[in-house]
Amino acid sequence: MSHSDLPAPCPAFYGNPLTEVYRDQWLLAVHKPAGLLVHRSPIDRHETEFALQYARAMNAGEHVYPVHRLDRPTSGLLVFARDPNTASLLGKALMAGAVQKSYLAMVRGWPQQEGVINHPLREHPTDRRCKDEPQPIRDALTRYRRLATTEIPVAIEGYPVSRYSLVALHPATGRKHQLRRHMQHISHPIIGDTNYGRTKHNHYFAQTFGHSRLMLAATAMVFTHPVTGTTLKLRAEPDASFMQVLSIFGDILATRGSLP
């Protein structure tokens, strides 16, 4: 089943920040806004709202099972299984690298037209109480492609002009903060990233657009349906706050049509 075969996205349920992207007997895919945790975490014990509970509300109160994660500040496509067996099957496909994931990001500078970032990453402890304990280093690989560039006449960090790029990111592994850490590793950090980004650039965009957000969005997933065996292509367009910041690219993006 291709994206063109899917029904039009449903609007968010009343008071529910999630927007339905796809639903069948076994799966529920939604668009998650930036700033919402997927599920309860020991790192954010004080939080009371999670994508998991909102997805359950969209599932008539029945349990849903997250099969992958999105960082709290990352917006975009999030897939839940509607039963434990489907969750297990899709989880195994993810672990085997059989799920293609695509992201859009706006980064500082002009990276190469395309490239592969093969840079191992040290795992992050899930509990802050273990932050001083040694953590294993895991292989991590990300492919990227530059989609558009722009240069604005604003002096930041001592340069008379500032350069930015829109890039497509395709992680082959699923390490925590992998895309954010990999873009920092090649000196093209994602705008709005308070952990791995550049503070002065982040402040400029927060002041210019009146809000601060990580410019990273999960836009597509392609995988074999764990039950029907058909190819499923899911897509979630970037939300309004993401597109607002992309206005700095002017007509460059307007001539491209829909984003990849």
Determine contact, residues 3/233, Cβ cutoff 8 Å. yes
Residue 62, phi then psi, degrees to nearest 5: -85, 155
Could you tell me the two tokens for 16? 């529910």
CA atoms of 104 and 258, how far apart (whole Å): 12
CA atoms of 201 and 189, how far apart (whole Å): 10
Other Cβ atoms less than 10 A from the Cβ of 207: the count is 10
H or E stretch covering 182: helix 178-185
Residue 241, phi then psi, degrees to nearest 5: -65, -35
Cβ-proximal residues to 24 (8 Å cutoff; 6+ apart), any chain: none
Could you tell me the two tokens for 33? 């806004």
CA–CA distances in Å: residue 213 to residues 46, 50, 249: 21, 18, 17
Could you tell me the two tokens for 232? 């499923």
Cα separation of the two ends of the chain = 18
H or E stretch covering 94: helix 84-95
Give the residue numbers marked as catalytic.
71
